[in-house]
Chains A and B, each alone.
Chain A
Amino acid sequence: MSAPMIDTDVHCAPASFEALFPYLDAYWREYITGGTVRIGPALGGQYPMGAPTTGGAPPATVEALRERVSGFAILTCLSAFDANRNPYYEAALTRAINEWLRERWLDRDDRLRASLTVPTSDPEAAVAEIERAAAHPGFVRVLLPVRSVDTRYGNRRYLPVLQAAADAGLPVALHAWGRVGNAPTATGFTHTYLEDYVANSQVIVQGQLVSLIAEGVFERLPSLQVSLLECGFSWLPALLWRFDKDWRGVWREVPWVKENPSAYVYRHFRLTTEPAHLPRDDRHLAELLEMARASDVLMYASDHPHDHGDGGTRLLAAVSEADRAAILHDNAAAHYGLDV
């Protein structure tokens, strides 16, 4: 019997704040009710509820999930990644979400794992949350939004968070979208959702990958692994050719980077199969998969309930049986240390 499939990115979200109230104290319950704060699934325009790519609201309960997704899955709850700028609120909310994930999901279905959500605006609080919650074996990665606050994640200010994740033996996962109070492009907000949609994979995630390597994070934290979720992957070859060449030119600026940047990427990064933005021509697709070393870096994700088109299906149909096994199971099992 072949190994079970590992679905590395399945979304869930509380339907409303009522579900999180048991995990929030009186001050925050009043902050939320008095401020009429909502926790809707659209997340400030990140996932417009009617957009065909969104695919409707994520499941809010295990029962709802299991009507739609079977098998072994890693949950991603993005509900804390909104536009609020109050760091204390972000810390309280992420902790409540983690408690909700633990009680309402992990403790009720042993084929589920989850992403530990941490605040982005207060690294000390993020470290404290990792130290508090990471012991639960259900949390298999630390989740950060790919759209960060002010600086990229390689920046010195985030090092304690990355260190805490590495110390806990957890990969850090960057997921598409995030702090939407911060514009998706370098120079501002967008009028169309498509511009926002491609900003995640074609622009922002690449800046984060470059930052983590250029700042020497993997020389300091050689055990740290990074997952890139819902950020695409077909951009990887072109980025690495440019990054490797530029590093050979200006390595004096970053002497702590000891190897070709692409070597760090293939050792430390794994990317999910959705969205798979692929060429339509079969030969071009085969060329892309070779250039990207797809079977070395990709992990299967349904990205439920999102719908990015038929790319993921075409991808799995285009690879060999051995590569399919790597993408469906082996790469994720190794990356997250899963014995399934």
Chain B
Amino acid sequence: MIMLVDADIHPAAMPKEIAARLDEPWRTRYEEFGYRVANPPMIYPRLTNGGNRLDAYPEEGLPGGDLDLMRAQLLDEYDVTYGVLIPLQSHGFGAVAPDFGQAMCRALNDWLATEWLDREPRLRSSLAITHESPEAAAEDIARYAGDRRFVQALLPTSGETTFGRAKYWPIYEAAEDVGLPVAFHLGGMENHRGAGWPSFYLEEHVWMGNLEAALAVSLICEGVFERFPRLRVVLVEGGISWMGPLMWALDDGFDKLRADLPHLSRKPSEYLREHIWLTTQPIEEPAEPRHLAWALEHTGMTDHIMFASDYPHWDFDNPRTALRDVPKELRAKFYGENARALYGLEAA
């Protein structure tokens, strides 16, 4: 039987579930002020069902808020061996004042542990951390290290500055120390310097691949992988096929610009292939299926690509059909083996 690991499932907590897990003064602060970070759908609304599968709305609460519905629509329906939760609320919680943010992230982690991980042995989760307060984040990475059901620390793709910067190194140091990968998912303090702000969700969604390419470049150029040689990084939901062209551009540039990069000992493509993992959803669909096979080969990292469904979002990739254009010999790796190796999951 093939192992199926879903590397991107979104649970959503109701505000009252967070509030119930906050001590004072945080509870009152949360109830009176909430957290004041514009989340991506406020900037670029998703026009159909708020960006969710219509059938994923439970009777009460939010899509991704009901374990029984998630079991029926995902875990049981597709015989998922393991699923990795990615709680996007942490992107907002992790960007506010350090102590307040830490309290909210802990409330969210407690909710994940008690409402999901305790009740469903097939689930694993990402750890919510205060990514804009790296010292507090590092503290929590160490604090939760004993609970191996938290398989990665979660960061957004947009921070106050680029994620290669030394500001964020305490997070990478703590994650490396306890052997946890860090995963970046679209969100955070969205900003659009460089090309400027787009107008539509369509543009934002296409941009996720570019944003993750920029993120990978930042990690390499700032020397993160020289400083943390055992750090493993997962880029979620940005696609795959851009990775080959990015490597060609970076290696060409590195050949010419080495004097500006004395802190790098290897070609950029070598860091990318060793340290970066990618998820499939939304997998690229060229008109010519063989083009996808070529693009996958061009990345040279087919041991680092993991299936993801993105449940319960509108662009959910069905595990039965999503990898139909992926060469047969790679499918078992993508569906489960690569994730099993990264997250240290037991065979089914």
Contacts and interface: CB of A to CB of B under 8 A. Distances in A.
Interface in A230-289: 232, 234-235, 237-239, 241-247, 249-250, 252-254, 275, 277-279, 284, 287-288
Interface stretch (B52-60, B89-97, B171-179, B217-225): B217-225
B261 A198 contact: no
B86 to A, nearest CB: 20
Interface residues of B, number: 68
B214 A203 contact: yes
A278 B194 contact: no
A182 B249 contact: no
A194 B206 contact: no
Contacts of B239: 238, 242
A201 B291 CA distance: 21
Contacts of A70: none
A52 B255 CA distance: 9
A207 B217 contact: no
Contacts of A253: 47, 200-202
Contacts of B211: 186, 203
B262 to A, nearest CB: 10
B248 A207 contact: no
B214 A279 contact: no
Contact of A204 (B158, B190, B195): B195
A185 B256 contact: no
Given A152-B197, A235-B242, A246-B202, A309 B255 contact: yes
Interface string A291-325: 10000000000000001110100000000000000
B199 A199 contact: no
B39 interface: no
A294 to B, nearest CB: 13
A67 B209 CA distance: 43
Contact of B246 (A154, A202, A287): A202
B257 interface: yes
A190 B203 contact: no
A52 B256 contact: yes
Contact of A243 (B192, B194, B196, B206): B206
Contacts of A128: none
B260 A51 contact: yes
A162 interface: no
B206 A148 contact: no
B284 interface: yes
A159 B242 CA distance: 30
Contacts of A278: 248
Contact of B214 (A202, A208, A290): A202
Given A187-B159, A204-B194, A247-B202, A284 B210 contact: no
16 contacts: A155-B197, A155-B199, A185-B214, A190-B218, A192-B257, A195-B221, A203-B210, A206-B207, A207-B195, A234-B245, A235-B249, A238-B209, A239-B242, A242-B284, A249-B282, A277-B249
Given A195-B218, A277-B249, A279-B248, 15 more contacts: A51-B260, A151-B198, A151-B199, A152-B203, A186-B190, A186-B193, A186-B211, A201-B249, A203-B195, A204-B195, A234-B245, A244-B285, A250-B48, A254-B200, A291-B295
Interface of B: 46-48, 158-163, 165, 189-203, 205-207, 209-211, 213-214, 217-218, 221-222, 239, 241-242, 244-246, 248-250, 252-257, 260-261, 268, 282, 284-286, 288, 291-292, 294-295, 297-298, 314-315
